[in-house]
Amino acid sequence: SFGAAVLVKHKENQKIYILKEVNISHLGKKEKDECINEVDNLQNLQHPNIVSNRESFVENEQIYIIMNYTDGEDLFQRIQKQKGQFIPEDEILNYFVQICLAIKHIHDRKILHRDIKLQNIFLTSKNIVKLGNFGISHIQNSTIEMSKTSIGNPYYLSPEICKENKYSFKSDIWALGCVLYDLVALKRAFEAKILKGEYAPITGGEYSSALINLISRMLRLNPKQRPTIDEILHSPIIQNKINSFLSDFNELQMKELKQKEKLQPEKEQQMKEKSKEEMKKKKEKRKNQEKKKLLIEKSLSRKNKKS
């Protein structure tokens, strides 16, 4: 099957990985080249918020890709756990910023994901977001900006794809807007109204107007009116969250530094004691060597006298 994935365990280190199998036997030469090209693309996608692949190989008309395994849940499972209770805005922004950083990484390399959805966004046990399943991602060269290939989850497909019109990276932005809507509303933005771009308004006052406005900007019917990933990352609400990340990181660094400073006197004392002990051992060793030398000299002296 195209894009099938299973969990595998390394025989030596016992680590769990994802083995993705892509059957290319039924594809034409152009499609096969695209699949093989996909493998090459994955080798270059190294980012803290992207599920990276370990290695890949082609065998018997099959492409095998071994990817790192995330030890947490996906965002779809995360939403299901809520049971109708809203997710705090700060937590949503925590996830969203990390997703945006992953998308920026691929867009900067002219790569479309084309299957951004809750089930392809994973959480580690430390709440680090990992964007995965680049099985149908497509690299675009500088001369071909647009693509007509209609691939992806129907609930996240942009209006231009549904109409089989040309689209570019703004389709990923649409899907990203759908994901953010899902996290806020705990339900899909679209069921059968994608062509009109109509979605149920978010009510209840649980979230800031800045967050609601960001969703509406990403879900604009005209792709040209949607923001780029850089524009999203530079929006005030996202910048505030990024600054909060940096502040938390700096605070953590300060704590670690203070802990090191606190432990420094103890380490210095331990080093001094260790140095004294080593000096003592060296002295004893020299003393023993001198005794041994003296005994040898005495023994030789006795032998000479007897002779």
How far apart (Å, rounded) are the C-alpha atoms in residues 166 and 164?
Answer: 7
The active-site residue out of 74, 115, 172, 182 is 115
115 labelled catalytic: yes
Catalytic residues: 115
